[in-house]
Amino acid sequence: MTTTLAYCGRRLLQAVPVLLGMSIFVFALIHLTPGDPVQAALGLNYSPRAAAVLRHAMGLDRPIVAQYFTWLGGILHGDFGRDLISHQPLSDLLAHTLPVTLELTLLAMGLAVMLAIPLGVAAARRPGGFVDRTLGGITLLGISIPDFVLGTLLILLFAATLNWLPPEDYVPFTQDPLDNLRHLILPVISLGLAQVAYIAQTTRASMLEVLGQDYIIYLRAKGIRERVIAYKHALRNGALPVVTVIGVQFGTLLGGDIVVENVFSLPGVGKMIVDAVSNRNYPIVQGGVLVIALIFILVNLFTDLLYLALNPRLSTADR
C-alpha cells in the first residue's frame, strides 16, 4: 500500500513543474500580445494621466515577476481575471461555459470508448474477418475527415436536408434533458468518430499481442470460455496502451472541441476563447487556455492512477 501512495505522490510532484511551466506560458501570452490593454480599456477617454492611474490600478506598472505572482495568487483564489470589455469576472463566464464543454467532451469520449473497445476486441479475435474489415473502413474515414468537417457534413445531411436534428445551439440539461441531448447528438458524433478509430485500432493491436501470449493458450487449456478469456483476461492485460491512448486523445478531443463548438454554435470554453482572440480580449484567452490546460493535466494524472490500478507490478514489490 505504501508503494501506491509513494507512486501517487511522485506523480503529483511531477505535475507541479508542468503546471508552473504552463502558467508561465499562459501569463507570457498577455505580455507578448500586441496592443496596450490600458489603451483598449480607456478607448476614447485615453489621456496620459488617466492611463497612468489605470495602469497603477491594474498593477501593470509593477515588475513582471511581481505581476506574475499576483496573477498566480489570484488564480489560486479562484480569480481568473476579468473580461476586458464587459468587466465580468472570468470565473462567472467559466461557470456558464465550462459545463457545456465538459458535457460535450465527456459524452464524446464516453461514446467513443463504449463503441471502440468492443470493436477492437472483436476485430482482434477474428483478424481479417467482417468486424476487422469494417473497422478498417471506419478508421480510414475517421482519421481522414476532420471533426469539424464531419460536423458540417452531418449538419448538411441531418439538419439541412433531412431536418431530423437541430443544426446548432445549446439547451442546458437542467432546462430540458431531451432537447439537450438532441442538440448534442451531431457534435458528439463529429468528435467521437475519429476517437473511435484511434481507440479501436489501439485496442485491436494490443489485443492481438496479448492473444498471442502463452497464458492465453493456458487459459484455454483450463477450459475457460473464449468470451471470458477475451473480455476478462486479454482485455485486462492489454488495457495499458488503450488507457494511454485515451489519455492522449483527450487532449486532441479538447482541441477539437474548440472548432466543433464554433460549427454548432455551442457556448462552451472553446467558443469563448476563439471569440476572445478575435476581439483581442486577452484575459479571456489567458484564462480559457489555462483552464483547458488544467483539465488536460488532471486527465493525465487520472490516467496515470489508472495505470497503477491495472499494472500490479507497480503497486507490489517484485520478488
Partner 1 sequence: MIAEALLEVRNLSVRFATERGQVQAVTGLNLTVRSGETLGLVGESGCGKSTTAMALMRLLPRTARVRAASLRFEGRDLLTLNPRELQGLRGNRMAMIFQNPMTSLDPSFTIGAQIVDVLREHRNLPAGAAREAALDLLRRVGIAAAEQRFRAHPHQLSGGQRQRVVIAIALACDPSLLIADEPTTALDVTIQAQILTLLRDIGAERHAAMVLITHDLGVVARMCDRVAVMYAGRLVEEGPVRAIFAEPRHPYTIALLRSIPSGGQARGALEVIEGTVPDLVNPPPGCPFAPRCHHRMAICDTRMPEPREAAPGHRAACFLHGHDHE
Partner 2 sequence: MAVLAALPSTSRRRSPRPRRVGAWLWRRRTLSAGVALIALMTILALAAPLLTPYSYHTMYYDAILAGPSRQHIFGTDGLGRDVYTRVIYSYQVSLRVAAGSVGLSLLMGVPLGLLAGYWGGWVDAALMRAVDLLLAFPAILLAISLIAILGQGLGVMVVAIAVVYVPILARVLRGSVLAVRNSAYVEGARARGAGHGRLMLRHVLPNSIGPTVVQAALLMAFAIQIEAGLSFLGLGVQPPTPSLGYMLQENHGYIDQSPWSTLFPCLAIALAVLAFNLLGSGLRDLLDPRGSGR
Residues that bind partner 2 (CB under 8 A): 18, 21-22, 25-26, 29, 32-34, 136, 140, 143-146, 148-149, 152-153, 155-156, 159-161, 167, 201, 204-205, 208-209, 212-214, 217-218, 251-252, 254-256, 258-259, 262-263, 273-274, 277-278, 282, 285, 289, 292-293, 296-297, 300
- CB under 5 to 8 A by kind: which of partner 2, partner 1, none does 236 bind? partner 1
Cβ proximity to partner 1: between 102 and 240 the closer is 240
Spell out the long-range contacts of 172-177 with Cβ–Cβ below 8 A and sequence spacing 24 or more.
172/99, 173/103
With H, G, I as helix, E, B as strand and everything else as coil, classify residue 317: coil
Report CA Rg, the chain: 24
- In the complex, the smallest distance separating the C-beta of residue 108 from partner 1, rounded to whole angstroms, is 29
246 vs 299: CA distance, rounded Å: 10
262 vs 183: CA distance, rounded Å: 14
Look at the block and give the residue holding cell 468518430.
Answer: 193
- CB under 5 to 8 A by kind: which of partner 1, partner 2, none does 174 bind? none
Tell me how far apart the 2 most distant CA atoms of the chain are, in Å: 87
203 vs 124: CA distance, rounded Å: 8
22 vs 5: CA distance, rounded Å: 26
Cβ proximity to partner 1: between 164 and 218 the closer is 218
- CB under 5 to 8 A by kind: which of partner 2, partner 1, none does 294 bind? none
- In the complex, the smallest distance separating the C-beta of residue 123 from partner 1, rounded to whole angstroms, is 17
What is the DSSP annotation of 160-202? IIS--S--S----TTT-HHHHHHHHHHHHHHHHHHHHHHHHHH
- In the complex, the smallest distance separating the C-beta of residue 192 from partner 2, rounded to whole angstroms, is 16
Cβ proximity to partner 2: between 184 and 269 the closer is 269
- In the complex, the smallest distance separating the C-beta of residue 289 from partner 2, rounded to whole angstroms, is 6
The three grid cell numbers given for residue 232, joined into one nine-digit string: 476478462
Residues in contact with partner 1 by the rule CB under 8 A? 213-215, 217-226, 233, 236-237, 310-313, 316-319
- CB under 5 to 8 A by kind: which of partner 1, partner 2, none does 227 bind? none
Cβ proximity to partner 2: between 119 and 155 the closer is 155
- In the complex, the smallest distance separating the C-beta of residue 198 from partner 2, rounded to whole angstroms, is 12
- In the complex, the smallest distance separating the C-beta of residue 13 from partner 1, rounded to whole angstroms, is 27
- CB under 5 to 8 A by kind: which of partner 2, partner 1, none does 156 bind? partner 2
Look at the block and give the residue holding cell 483450463.
Answer: 222
- Give exposure, 193-217, as e/b (b: 16+ Cβ within 10 Å): bbbbbbbbbbbbbbbbebbeeeebe
- CB under 5 to 8 A by kind: which of partner 1, partner 2, none does 191 bind? none
- CB under 5 to 8 A by kind: which of partner 2, partner 1, none does 291 bind? none
Cβ proximity to partner 2: between 99 and 146 the closer is 146
- In the complex, the smallest distance separating the C-beta of residue 210 from partner 1, rounded to whole angstroms, is 10
Do 179 and 200 form a contact (C-beta atoms < 8 A)?
Answer: no
- CB under 5 to 8 A by kind: which of partner 1, partner 2, none does 208 bind? partner 2
| Sign of the CA dihedral with 39 first, then 40, 46, and 52 last | negative
- In the complex, the smallest distance separating the C-beta of residue 57 from partner 2, rounded to whole angstroms, is 25
60 vs 46: CA distance, rounded Å: 16
248 vs 261: CA distance, rounded Å: 20
